[in-house]
């Protein structure tokens, strides 16, 4: 179950979100590094991080745990979003800042070229062409291999693609939150990777006594596994990135690839979440 980028590089379609590896409770511990290594052992080949996750510590931890990286592994990072002192998230898309952060990510990840650099958020105070143009320049210089966007609309994606090739889009999307359905369809039609963050369904439908829980029980799976299996079936361009700091939860999530929904179960989940 793989997704292949336009340049021919393929990744397994169940990825890993590394943000929780450097949370307040276990920032930089050996346990966190062990979780990252276990993800790779389990066959994960797409890991998502960001320069703003603990002020670069998340990228450094991945390098400490995994460098030198397997040739099959793609590490996607992000620039353009700041979180001073773990407070409010603030977009910052000035071209000189994006370049500075990309250079720092190269250093922290110990690479000469970033596999995938995503614009974490569009900065409403900076013209979109200036932000995308900065990423395009980095790509032209060989410092990034692929460009991604996060939390964008179809119109913004269209505009960005006039400036640079876009390889991925990372919007919030899951079984019970499908505001980005139109963006997903756009990506599917053009072979762009769609990387849903917060991929595990939440809310009433995700309760143990709800439909998701009942289907999970019928399949001998967990609600989280069914949520991920639903996404993997929903579209061939979807690469979910469930995140955790627990080996047990990581292993549970990775077993979602073995969960097979019937047509009736898939449609029931779709219809219930839409009702």
**Catalytic (active-site) positions:** 53
Number of H helices, E strands in the chain: 10, 11
Residue 44 is given by DSSP the state -
- What DSSP assignment string belongs to 115-138? SEEEESS--TTS-HHHHHHHHHHH
Confirm if 222 and 216 have CB atoms less than 8 A apart.
yes
- With b for 16 or more beta-carbon neighbours within 10 A and e for fewer, the 79-105 pattern comes to bbbbeeeeeeeebbbebebbbebbeeb
Query: Which tokens go with 15?
Result: 């990825």
Confirm if 144 and 117 have CB atoms less than 8 A apart.
yes
Query: Which tokens go with 119?
Result: 């614009």
Residue 115, helix vs strand vs coil: coil
């Amino acid at each position: 179950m793989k997704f292949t980028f336009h340049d021919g590089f393929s990744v397994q379609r169940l990825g890993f979100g590394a943000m929780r590896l450097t949370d307040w409770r276990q920032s930089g511990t050996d346990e966190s590094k062990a979780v990252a290594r276990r993800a790779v052992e389990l066959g994960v080949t797409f890991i998502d991080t960001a320069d703003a996750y603990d002020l670069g510590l998340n990228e450094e931890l991945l390098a400490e745990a995994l460098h030198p990286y397997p040739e099959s592994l793609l590490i996607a990072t992000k620039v353009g979003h700041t979180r001073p002192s773990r407070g409010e998230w603030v977009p910052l898309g000035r071209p000189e800042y994006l370049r500075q952060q990309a250079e720092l990510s190269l250093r922290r990840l110990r690479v000469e070229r970033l596999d995938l650099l995503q614009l974490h958020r569009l900065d409403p105070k900076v013209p979109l062409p200036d932000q995308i143009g900065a990423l395009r320049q980095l790509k032209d210089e060989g410092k990034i291999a692929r460009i991604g966007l996060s939390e964008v609309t179809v119109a913004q994606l269209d505009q960005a693609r006039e400036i640079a090739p876009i390889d991925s889009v990372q919007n919030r999307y899951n079984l019970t939150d499908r505001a980005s359905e139109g963006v997903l369809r756009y990506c599917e039609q053009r072979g762009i990777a769609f990387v849903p963050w917060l991929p595990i369904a939440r809310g009433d439908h995700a309760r143990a006594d709800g439909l998701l829980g009942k289907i999970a029980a019928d399949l001998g799976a967990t609600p989280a596994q069914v949520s991920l299996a639903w996404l993997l079936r929903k579209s061939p361009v979807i690469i979910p990135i469930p995140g955790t700091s627990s080996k047990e939860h990581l292993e549970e999530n990775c077993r979602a690839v073995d969960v097979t929904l019937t047509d009736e179960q898939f449609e029931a989940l779709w219809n219930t979440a839409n009702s």
